Structure 1
Amino acid sequence: MLNDIVDVLADPVDLTPLRGEDDFARLVSETGHSYDVAKQGYVTLASGKGLNHEGDSLEMINSRETFLSNGHFAPFVEAVSDRVADVVERTSGDRDPVILEAGAGTGYYLAHTLDLIEGSRGVGLDISVPAAKHLAKAHPRLGAVVADAWEQLPVRTGSVDVVTVVFAPRNPSEFARVLVDDGEAVILVADQGHLDELRDPLGILGVEDGKVERLVDQASQWLTPVCDPELISFPMQLGRGAIAAQVGMSPSARHLDADVLKQRLEDLPEQMEVTARAQLIRLRKA
């Protein structure tokens, strides 16, 4: 709910604090900017320039909901939640910890983390309005915000214990700004070998070499590793429907013709073992 996290949010224009007005029908900043809260419970916090990138479509969000709700990525969500719990045990003290997920999608990961950590509050940020509609109802302690993760985040400086990113865009300078002094960014990034069994038969995008190393290097001005990256890899048993949902929620959905993909899916076995493989990276302020 937005009223639970309004003390963390900031005006996207000038980062002044926001407050709820008219029974939280809108959020208003100290400088007089006003942002309407949608009837579904989310708020769009974008500067006057608007949103500069394209978010996931309704079809992609529905595919994501279908795939994740069946637990295929459960080891990923458990790993992320466990590492977040490790951080907030150290950072939060007597106050309720705040967890921000950038590119939160349907809220699957963040809701699981909030369930694990008693009293925690979540800010789910995504550029996609269809995603925000899911986020707003994903968990009672989660507030949904439509914003661009590549731009200045509409979040107060030093207000967040942990920033999580799961297969989503990263903004290291802004992550460092919003984190408390001993907070961390917990980032899950696809590693080479992820979904490799599907690459050739479906023609989907692969994971480029050196992705983890580039991520750490590009963030080094603002964030530094807490420990070595942690490999998380496991097999999944996927039917054609699950495979279609996985492709439909990924960037490959924008690059493949629907009819071509349908034919390629029909040529697959009814059940396949597919490898999930990612690196979990923990970064703190440099």
Structure 2
Amino acid sequence: MLNDIVDVLADPADLTPLRGEDGFTRLVSGSGHSYDVAKQGYVTLAAGQGLIHEGDSLEMINSRETFLSNGHFAPFVEAVTDAVSDVVERSAGDADPVILEAGAGTGYYLAHTLDSIAGARGVGLDISVPAARHLAKAHPRLGAVVADVWEQLPIRTGSVHALTVVFAPRNPAEFARVLVDGGEAVILVADHGHLDELREPLGILGVEEHKVERLVEQARGHLEPVGEPELIEFPMQLGREAIAAQVGMSPSARHLDPEVLRQRLDALPDQMTVTARAQLIRMRKAGQ
């Protein structure tokens, strides 16, 4: 709920604090800007000309919900939650921890983490309005915000104990700004070999090598690794509909003709063993 996390939110134009007005139907900043709360419970916090980038479509969000709700990525979910639990134990002290997920999608990962950490509050941030509609109802201690991860985040400086990014864009400078001292970003990055069994038969996009190394280099001066990355790899037994949902929630959905994809899916076996493979890396503010 937004009223539970408004003390973490900030005006995207100037980072002044926000407060709820008119029964939390809008958020108003100290500098006088006003942002309407949608009837579904989320708020769009974008400065200037508003949102520029395009987020996931309703079809992509529905595919994501279908795939994740069937537990296919459960080891990824558990690994992220375990890492966040360790982070907040170190960074929150006696305070109720604040967990921000950037590119939160349907809120599946964040809701699981909130279930596992008593008293934690979650901020789910995504540029997609269809995603925000899911986020707003994903968990009672979660507030949904539509915002662009590439821009200044509408989050108060030094207010977040743990920040998660799961297969989503990253903004190291802003991540470092919003983290408390001792807080960490927990980042899950698809690794080379992820879903490889589907690449050739479906013609979907591959995962390039050395993604973690590039992440560390791009974050230099803002975030630095805590220990070594953890490889998480496991087989999934997927039928055609699960595979269709997986492709539908990915960037490949934007590049494949739906009829061509359907023909290729029909040519697959009834069940396939597909490898899930990612690297989990924890990062803290540089110089700590």
TM range (shorter): over 0.9
Partner of 2:3: 3
Q: Distance in 2 between matches of 1:62 and 1:151?
A: 26
Deviations 1:179-223 (A, max 9, x none): 001000000000001000000000000001111100011001100
Partner of 2:74: 74
Deviations 1:87-111 (A, max 9, x none): 1001111110000000000000000
User: Which contiguous aligned blocks of 4+ residues in structure 1 show a shift greater than 3 angstroms?
Assistant: none
Partner of 2:265: 265
Q: Distance in 1 between matches of 2:231 and 2:263?
A: 34
Counterpart amino acid of residue 34 in structure 2: S
Query: What does 1:1-286 correspond to in 2, within 5 Å?
Result: 1-286=1-286
Q: Distance in 1 between matches of 2:84 and 2:237?
A: 28
Displacement of 1:234 after TM fit? Answer: 0.2
Secondary structure of the structure 2 residue equivalent to 1:154:
coil
Q: Distance in 2 between matches of 1:235 and 1:150?
A: 33
Deviations 1:17-41 (A, max 9, x none): 0000001000000000000000000
Q: Distance in 2 between matches of 1:234 and 1:167?
A: 17
- The count of corresponding residues between Structure 1 and Structure 2 is 286
Counterpart amino acid of residue 12 in structure 2: P
Secondary structure of the structure 2 residue equivalent to 1:185:
strand
Secondary structure of the structure 1 residue equivalent to 2:60:
helix
Q: Distance in 2 between matches of 1:18 and 1:256?
A: 42
Deviations 1:33-74 (A, max 9, x none): 000000000000000221121100000000000000000000
Q: Distance in 1 between matches of 2:270 and 2:109?
A: 28
Q: Distance in 2 between matches of 1:189 and 1:211?
A: 7
Q: Distance in 2 between matches of 1:113 and 1:215?
A: 24
Counterpart amino acid of residue 120 in structure 2: S
Secondary structure of the structure 2 residue equivalent to 1:234:
strand
Counterpart amino acid of residue 26 in structure 1: R
Q: Distance in 2 between matches of 1:94 and 1:194?
A: 39
> Percent identity among equivalent residues?
84
Counterpart amino acid of residue 139 in structure 2: H
RMSD: 0.4
Deviations 1:118-170 (A, max 9, x none): 00000000000000000000000000000000110000000000110000000
Structure 1 residue runs without a partner (length 5+): none
Deviations 1:226-280 (A, max 9, x none): 0100000000000000000000000000000000000000000000000000000
Structure 2 residue runs without a partner (length 5+): none
Counterpart amino acid of residue 199 in structure 2: R
Q: Distance in 1 between matches of 2:180 and 2:49?
A: 28
Q: Distance in 1 between matches of 2:150 and 2:229?
A: 23
